[in-house]
Chain A
């Protein structure tokens, strides 16, 4: 099992450019989520999904879109990058049963710089 695979590991964008951060898991997890990690702050939830076709907003969703067309994939889209989106992004997944989740499995992160 590869676990949770995130690509790319590093990315530099100019303000206004768009890009998609990829996240894939091979554990048949229902729950997938995206977080950003900024210096001095805890991880913050951007968007999450509890299954194919179902997504919802987290604490800091503005400027980001997601979709979940398959159980395996949960891409995060930045439509028009801003310097405030410079951060390290993590994708995570877990089993989800009746509102309860199992321990999270994290990807290795994507370091994004917006100039």
Chain B
């Protein structure tokens, strides 16, 4: 099937690390993405990883890719209240179509 799976909710305390997980479907996906959506807004690209990489770090964000298990994760270090949002993972197989997960709602508690 084409389902990209994510857990629906995650709650963390301010200053802790957040880890958002995603299981994707297509082992031939070339790029995998993480987007952030704040209430009433569009999707903002956070980071992406090419399929031949295992890890990518960008300031507070770390993306880990396990191709064998088709598992993608996003770690946010020192989570802040401004990080509260919905986070979507997405995969791109190289033609035209992007497949999005259902989104994980991250709530950061002060």
* Chain B binds chain A: no
A residues at B contact (CB < 8 Å): none
